[in-house]
Chain A
Amino acid sequence: MSISTDQLAAASASARASRPNLFTRVAQHRADYLYIAPALLVMLLVIAYPVWFTIQLSFEKTSPSLSLADQTFVGFDNYWTILKSQSFRDVTVNTIIWTVFSTLFSFVLGLGCALALNRAFVGRGVMRAILLIPYVISAVAASYIWRWLYHSDFGVIGALAVQFGLTQHPINFLDNTTSVLPSLIVVNVWKEFSFAMIMLMAGLQTVPDQLLRAAQVDGANTWNRFWHVTFPHLRGVTLVTVLLLIVANLNSFIIPWIMTGGGPAGASDIWITSIYNIAFGRVRFGIASAYSVILFLVMISLGYFYVRALAGKDDGAIVE
């Protein structure tokens, strides 16, 4: 193994020495760029341009008519307005609660299911498929289903709670500032825990069977086999899964938007719903853009870890 690595290093070193300059290399490969040109063009139009434009807008005051002619440059004013407002702090707290608990429960439940489904048995495929259905159906449909389940007068959850003697009257889940956020988190977890499940199921398949059996022979119990053999093998998948869950939760819009619209009294308002309200409700694109840029910076720092985790995989074949 080490010999081949050395050879590779030597080969790449000699290649680097005789490398022509960048311009010549680009010219040599000009035909190659044709293949990625359509993808790049679409990405530039729909991604690079909007990112640049949002950053630009975040430093400007926009008119409610959105005619692009009358914008005035206001420097960091939009940012100060946001950071000083009380609503920003409230929304940030909500966002953190929403993201942390959604991610935590989705991951734990997903891991549990993945471990329970790891052993082959009759009906395993069917169970996996059923558990994945909430993940594939539309979040809009899911939101309406749960709104009906939570319905303050005819909701089945409230009726069940009364049936079992937990409460006197049906509970008003969504119109109550303390219960609304946990109720929405339940919906979100219902929708996405199976994503964590299949990621971890795929990860579990990479755990070598011989190691587990060797540990068993050595007398390790189930817990120790999981903690010392299985879990270390899942580290990479866990990192990527948790990152993707965090990003998805920071980005989630549909469930809070359809179910409560951020209410009551902003108790379920998170960053995205708040930005949408500022932009398309109050038509303040400047402030909303500054808000997006803040969110964007958070995402970029997460994105850094994501790419690092994936990049490790990409040249893993050579390094290991």
Chain B
Amino acid sequence: MTALVGDRRVTRKPIDWWRWAGRVFLFFMLLFTILPMAWMVLTSIKTQFAAFQYPPQWWPKEPTLDNYVKLLNPFGAVGQEFLQYLWNSIFVSLCSTILGVAVAVPAAYAFSRFRFPGRRFLFFSVLLRNMFPSVIFLMPLFLLMRWLGLINNPGSLILTYLTFGLPLSIWLLKGFYDNIPVQLEQAARIDGATRFQAFFLIVMPLSSPGIIATAIYSFILAWNEYVFALTFLNSKEKLTLPIGLQHFFTEYATDWPGLMAASFIMSVPVVVMFLILQKYFVRALTEGAVKH
């Protein structure tokens, strides 16, 4: 008996094939993810001539930042155009994010704290927004915006994007408020705070991670949105980046290095923001689907 146990102790741990399979799989998925983006960056530092070679230059022989300089030079024609798109995107995304949070916070708070009739119905009809195809909103909103005189106005986009992030923001923030004990507010009320003060000074600061999460989520949604911007905007100086990129492509059809540089610049803000606030973003996506 003892000999048997001893034998077992000596046998080496078998190789965990599943673990190795996982590593290999992960390696290939990383390649799959990174290579297209790497090729974008490599192309963006090539000259036109170098990009159009067959077989391709795997590594640029004469790397150049000319494409970036051209896009970001405020005195050149291309630069002026591109910087205008960039500014439009920043403006629209920031406005819709700020307004979105301002609207979502009180709504989420009410859904969490109050037990008014129709609460469940309203809550789930808000969530159902995620289910609707965006085209269903496209035609009526186009007509509505035309009626309101908002075609070609960033206001039309801000109003639309506001509702994109709203369902998720409300859902996420409600989760946060559910976890903040009501006693904290009651204590503040006893100390003489009004209901609003209790909310603003006690609950709001405690839910700031939730607010950051919803803000970053709404910002990325607005920054990347394409369909509504395509439909609502038609003058060149009003375009946001995704439409601007397309515009850029049709105007300078074969300038692939320039287009890759533009795609890169467009991706930088969201990727940087995502990397810094990753924790919150992941939370925004997974909250609600997973029971903690």
- Give the B-binding residues of A (Cβ under 8 A): 22, 25-26, 29, 32-36, 38-40, 42-43, 45-47, 49-51, 53-54, 57, 66, 68, 109, 112-113, 115-117, 119, 125, 127, 129-134, 136-141, 144-146, 148-149, 151, 153-154, 156, 159, 162-163, 170, 190, 193-195, 198-199, 201-203, 205-206, 222-223, 236-237, 240-241, 244, 247, 250-251, 253-254, 258, 271-272, 275-276, 279-280, 285, 288-289, 292-293, 295-296, 299-300, 302-303, 306-307, 310-311, 313, 316
Instruction: Produce 1/0 per residue, B239-253, CB < 8 A to A.
Output: 001100110010000
Instruction: List chain B residues, Cβ under 8 A from A139.
Output: 224, 226
- Residues from 30 to 55 in B contacting A, C-beta threshold 8 Å: 30, 32-34, 36-37, 39-40, 43, 51-55
Instruction: List chain A residues, Cβ under 8 A from B75.
Output: none
Instruction: List chain B residues, Cβ under 8 A from A66.
Output: 143
**When A190-B32, A206-B290 are in contact, do A288 and B139 touch as well, CB less than 8 Å?**
yes
Q: Verify if B98 is at the interface (C-beta below 8 Å from A).
A: no
- 9 smallest CB-CB distances across A and B, nearest first, come from A35-B110, A303-B131, A29-B116, A116-B22, A50-B140, A39-B107, A53-B140, A202-B286, A141-B263
Name, among A34, A35, A237, the residue most crowded by chain B CB atoms within 10 Å (CB to CB): A35
For the complex, what is the distance from the CA of A187 to the CA of B132, rounded to whole Å? 23
**A47 near B159 (CB under 8 angstroms)?**
no
**When A133-B37, A190-B33 are in contact, do A22 and B106 touch as well, CB less than 8 Å?**
no
For the complex, what is the distance from the CA of A95 to the CA of B23, rounded to whole Å? 34
**B39 near A149 (CB under 8 angstroms)?**
yes
- Residues from 88 to 142 in B contacting A, C-beta threshold 8 Å: 102-104, 106-107, 109-111, 114-118, 122, 124-141
Instruction: List chain A residues, Cβ under 8 A from B271.
Output: 133, 136-137
A56 nearest CB neighbor, chain B only = B140
Q: Verify if B187 is at the interface (C-beta below 8 Å from A).
A: no
**B220 near A136 (CB under 8 angstroms)?**
yes
Instruction: List chain A residues, Cβ under 8 A from B260.
Output: 144-145, 148
**A42 near B166 (CB under 8 angstroms)?**
yes
| B83 → A minimal CB distance (Å) | 17
A273 nearest CB neighbor, chain B only = B135
Interface size class of B (residues with CB under 8 A): 35 or more
Among A202, A258, A275, A303, point to the contact of B290 (Cβ < 8 A). Answer: A202
B264 nearest CB neighbor, chain A only = A141
18 A-B contacts (beta carbon < 8 Å): A22-B117, A26-B116, A35-B106, A35-B110, A39-B170, A50-B144, A51-B132, A54-B137, A133-B37, A145-B39, A145-B260, A148-B256, A154-B52, A163-B55, A199-B290, A251-B134, A253-B226, A313-B288
Q: Verify if B259 is at the interface (C-beta below 8 Å from A).
A: yes
Name, among A22, A39, A144, A201, the residue most crowded by chain B CB atoms within 10 Å (CB to CB): A39
For the complex, what is the distance from the CA of A49 to the CA of B141, rounded to whole Å? 9
| B57 → A minimal CB distance (Å) | 10
Q: B61-69, B201-209, B274-282: which lies at the A interface?
A: B274-282
Instruction: List chain B residues, Cβ under 8 A from A195.
Output: 285
**B134 near A36 (CB under 8 angstroms)?**
no
Instruction: List chain A residues, Cβ under 8 A from B122.
Output: 36, 40
Instruction: List chain A residues, Cβ under 8 A from B215.
Output: none
| A306 → B minimal CB distance (Å) | 6
Instruction: List chain B residues, Cβ under 8 A from A115.
Output: 22
A125 nearest CB neighbor, chain B only = B278
**B133 near A144 (CB under 8 angstroms)?**
no
Instruction: List chain B residues, Cβ under 8 A from A57.
Output: 139-140
**B116 near A138 (CB under 8 angstroms)?**
no
Q: Verify if B6 is at the interface (C-beta below 8 Å from A).
A: no
Instruction: List chain A residues, Cβ under 8 A from B25.
Output: 112-113, 116
List 14 other contacts, CB 8 Å, given A159-B56, A272-B135. A29-B115, A39-B104, A42-B103, A51-B137, A113-B26, A125-B278, A129-B278, A154-B256, A198-B286, A250-B133, A254-B242, A289-B139, A292-B136, A306-B128
